Amino acid sequence: MARITAHAVLTTTDSDAEAQRLARGLVEARLAACVQIVGPVRSVFRWDGAVQVESEYQLVVKTTRAAEATEWIVGNHSYDVPEVITLPIDGGHETYLTWLADESSG
């Protein structure tokens, strides 16, 4: 069987409502097979020259279309500079990865 190239794309947002909106939009657009919403999580970061501590919700986006999902997230996110990090999925349950590829195909 051909190797499936899949990624987990991570992003965060400041509310459960926005996390759900982004997750639903990605799945409806077939840019993701599945999006898990984790949170709230505590984020510590530097912004505007000061250390900030905020509650956020993390989205874990499973996709074979990481570049397109990244572009969609950036275009639909409320943050000026949204976190978007792409991690390769190097292996996993073959049947799941096939489902992931089928559900996130364009």
Asked, for residue 1, whether it belongs to a domain, the answer is: no
User: Residue 105 pLDDT > 70, yes or no?
Assistant: yes
Nearest to 91 by CA among 10, 3, 1, 31: 3
Structure confidence at residue 12 (pLDDT): 98
pTM: 0.94
The boundaries of the domain holding residue 67 are 6-103
Q: What is the CB neighbour count within 10 angstroms for residue 30?
A: 15
Counted domains in the chain: 1
Token look-up 């400041």 returns 14
Q: What is the pLDDT of residues 9-58, one digit of tens each?
A: 999 999 999 999 999 999 999 999 999 999 999 999 999 999 999 999 99
Mean pLDDT for 90-98 is: 93
Structure confidence at residue 1 (pLDDT): 54
User: Residue 79 pLDDT > 90, yes or no?
Assistant: yes
User: Residue 2 pLDDT > 80, yes or no?
Assistant: no
73 φψ region: left (φ > 0), alpha (ψ -120 to 50), beta (else): alpha
Asked, for residue 45, whether it belongs to a domain, the answer is: yes
CATH at 44:
3.30.70.120
At residue 3, the 3 state secondary structure works out as coil
